[in-house]
Amino acid sequence: MKYLICPWLGKQRRLDDYKRAADDFNKAGEICQKNGIRFAYHNHDYSFRVQDTQYPQDIMMKNTDPALVDFEMDMYWVVTAGQDPIEWMKKYKWRFKLCHIKDRKKIRLLKRVSLIKAAS
């Protein structure tokens, strides 16, 4: 086994909760490192949606130690949040050490975008 991955955090109520999660990730990373494995966090859409003018993903990326914490980008959820996975990879070079890719039907996304536009 090479990684211990946190598969879910859930949307947090406040941005400070993401900072606390980042602190917990650093602690988990230290434990993993001492045992010869790496720690990583697997995102969902909530971390790529603006909350109180910030992206929770930015908070977690900036408050974790790259020597201790890696990130697994779930591209499906990044796209679902309306973000571009490539731009995030450019922004945080070498932090996304793993990725998770799922099939996505383009028509479903287009319907969702149409519904959102109709509701606004």
CATH level 3 topology of 3-119: TIM Barrel (3.20.20)
Give yes or no for residue 112 having a pLDDT over 60.
no
- Residue 61 has a pLDDT of 98
Strands 69-74 and 38-42 come out as parallel
Query: What is the Cα–Cα distance from 120 to 118, expressed in whole angstroms?
Result: 6
Higher pLDDT, 10 or 118: 10
The Cα angle at residue 38 between residues 84 and 55, in degrees rounded to 5: 30
Give yes or no for residue 113 having a pLDDT over 70.
no
- Residue 118 has a pLDDT of 59
- Residue 65 has a pLDDT of 98
29-66 pLDDT tens trace: 999 999 999 999 999 999 999 999 999 999 999 999 99
- Residue 103 has a pLDDT of 77
